[in-house]
Amino acid sequence: MFKGFYTAASGMLAQQRRTDMLTNNMANANTPGFKEDQSTLRAFPDMLLELMNGQTPGGPKVGSLSTGVYMQEAIPRFIQGDMKETDNKTDMALVDINANGLRGSVFFTVQDPSGQPRYTRNGNFTLDAQGYLTTGNGQYILDTNGKPIQLSSDQFTVSDTGLITGQNGEQAQLGIAFAAQPGSLIKEGNGLYRTESGTSLASAANQQFKLQQGFLEQSNVDLSKSMTDMLTAYRSFEANQKILQAYDRSMEKVANEVGKIG
């Protein structure tokens, strides 16, 4: 009976985590470059039960017992989002071109407050008071040498390979990084990712990609599918809740009525 409590409770917790993930996806449906999270539900390893004769194991096999489910970690789905034209010179979008069937994704390189490299697909950039190209959170965009990019004004052009040419002739090459397995990157929030080992990603110089100035990559969240998945998760949570309530009523009846001496 008590095992049933744990099984139903684990189902509720798994669906609650899935609902939280879907809610975050929907909240970022309009965030440039956002990659929706996805996950799967898995069962905990089953227990094999056997009848014990006294204290000696190895008796007749009773059968296996499931111990509930859990949600695996949320992993971003790195599918190209739609392009939206903004005509803003500081907006940039990366377009993955997977040649010969190779999978992977390219990223802008960003410097976090501690000076470590981070990666993003959100090209909604701006110039700060000193003319440095930054993210919306004020983090520096880096060039191929790992240095912040400083420009004389926002009147600059960017080639499809990431070469920036300023109004006064200054040039800088955007530090575009390539992840062969982007699913292994760790999401940090604010559209930033880092490698699991803390090392830097390889340069995308030898990879096929295209940069579009005056465009932003939109989120790849499918709102209608996310809403359907959320309703499914809610119904599953509700079903497990009712099972838990049924177990609770049964235990109450056992405690108060079964075996009662009249």
pLDDT tens across the length of the chain (262 residues) = 567 777 888 888 899 999 999 999 999 999 999 999 998 877 766 666 666 665 556 666 666 666 678 787 888 999 899 999 999 999 999 998 764 455 789 999 999 888 899 999 999 999 999 999 999 889 999 999 999 999 989 899 999 999 999 988 899 999 999 998 888 899 888 899 999 887 788 888 777 889 999 999 999 999 999 999 999 999 999 998 888 888 878 877 777 776 665 5
Angstrom distance (rounded) from CA 5 to CA 152: 65
**Cα 148 off chain centre by:** 27
**Consecutive H or E run containing 63:** strand 61-65
Q: Are 5 and 244 in contact (CB under 8 A)?
A: yes
80 with 221: CB under 8 angstroms?
no
The burial class, CB within 10 Å (0-12 / 13-18 / 19+), for 16 is middle
Q: Does the predicted model carry a pTM greater than 0.85?
A: no
* C-alpha span between 83 and 258 (Å, rounded): 67
Query: Closest Cα partner for 176 from 64, 238, 240, 96?
Result: 96
What 8-state DSSP symbol labels residue 246?
Answer: H
50-58 long-range contacts (CB < 8 A, ≥24 apart) are none
